[in-house]
């Protein structure tokens, strides 16, 4: 197993989306170095669509923004909607020259149950596309020799974006507000059906970098044995409300994987 080491660079694909922003912020607070490919002319001072509350409207600080990826042993593909398999193949083909050892891929619970009628005919899930994307991750891993972990979540909700969402139109774009889930469920079987907060989901993606688990699912829970006791782990402050979001400690992650 090709585990990453502290100080290794990790590239985030989809970094301007809400999940990507959360993942970049989490990486900055971790032992890894966060990297993101940015467009020509991008600077850290540019105002973005989904800034973290209290960060001045810009992308997370402490990320290496670069037109071209440097050597990157790790990659997290954090796209909220499923990419075409051909696009994923292209990204991984490009990155395998950068010393790629480990890829973590955000996917959706239900992929292994895609023939269940309730899942198959739910147009919001796009489960066939997620299935094809996962298959491409496995195929590229076999071709190029990197390890992968697929992290399946329920429908994503919340995130540190309370102040970004003043308008009704943007409120329609997805579950807006954080739900106070002080516990979680984590399983290697594709059997979980509940929503996943973006804070928990992004932390799970970062966990995937160091876990020797090909696939796991994670969702929030109101109660249960797997507790999340870190409140507001990003230390971000909305102008209007206290943020009550809970994520696991390192020990709580270990306990979750031990029972998975």
Q: pLDDT at position 125, please?
A: 80
How confident is the model at residue 40, as a pLDDT? 86
Q: Could you tell me the pLDDT band of residue 176, with boundaries at 50, 70 and 90? A: low
pLDDT at 123: 75
pLDDT given for residue 25 in this prediction? 96
65 Cβ contact list (under 8 Å, min separation 6) = 36, 38, 42, 43, 44, 59
pLDDT band at 165 (very low <50, low <70, confident <90, very high): low
Q: Is pLDDT at 83 greater than 80 in this prediction? A: yes
Burial of 105 (0-12, 13-18, 19+ CB in 10 A): buried
If you average pLDDT over residues 31-37, what whole number do you get?
95
In this prediction, residues 221-236 reach a mean pLDDT of 92
Q: Are 111 and 134 in contact (CB under 8 A)?
A: yes
Any idea how long the chain is? 260
pLDDT at 211 over 70: yes
Q: How confident is the model at residue 167 (pLDDT cuts 50, 70, 90)?
A: low
pLDDT for the residue numbered 180: 79
């Amino acid at each position: 197993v090709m585990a990453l080491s502290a100080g290794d660079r990790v590239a985030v694909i989809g970094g301007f989306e809400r999940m990507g922003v959360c993942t970049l912020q989490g990486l900055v607070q971790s032992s890894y170095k966060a990297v993101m490919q940015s467009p020509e002319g991008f600077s850290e001072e540019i105002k973005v669509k989904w800034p973290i509350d209290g960060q001045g409207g810009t992308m997370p600080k402490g990320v290496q923004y670069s037109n071209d990826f440097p050597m990157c042993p790790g990659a997290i593909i954090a796209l909220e909607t499923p990419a075409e398999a051909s696009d994923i193949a292209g990204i991984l083909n490009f990155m395998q020259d950068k010393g790629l050892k480990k890829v973590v891929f955000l996917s959706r619970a239900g992929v292994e149950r895609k023939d269940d009628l309730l899942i198959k005919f739910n147009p919001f899930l796009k489960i066939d596309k997620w299935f094809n994307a996962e298959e491409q991750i496995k195929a590229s891993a076999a071709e190029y020799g990197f390890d992968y972990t697929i992290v399946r979540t329920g429908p994503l909700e919340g995130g540190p974006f309370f102040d970004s969402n003043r308008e009704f139109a943007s409120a329609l774009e997805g579950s807006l507000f954080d739900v106070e889930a002080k516990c979680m469920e984590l399983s290697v079987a594709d059997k979980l059906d509940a929503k996943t907060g973006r804070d928990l989901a992004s932390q799970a993606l970062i966990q995937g970098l160091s876990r020797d688990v090909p696939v796991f699912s994670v969702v929030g829970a109101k109660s249960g044995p797997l507790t999340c006791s870190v409140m507001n782990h990003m230390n971000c402050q909305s102008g209007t409300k206290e943020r009550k979001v809970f994520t696991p400690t390192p020990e709580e992650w270990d306990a979750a994987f031990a029972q998975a």
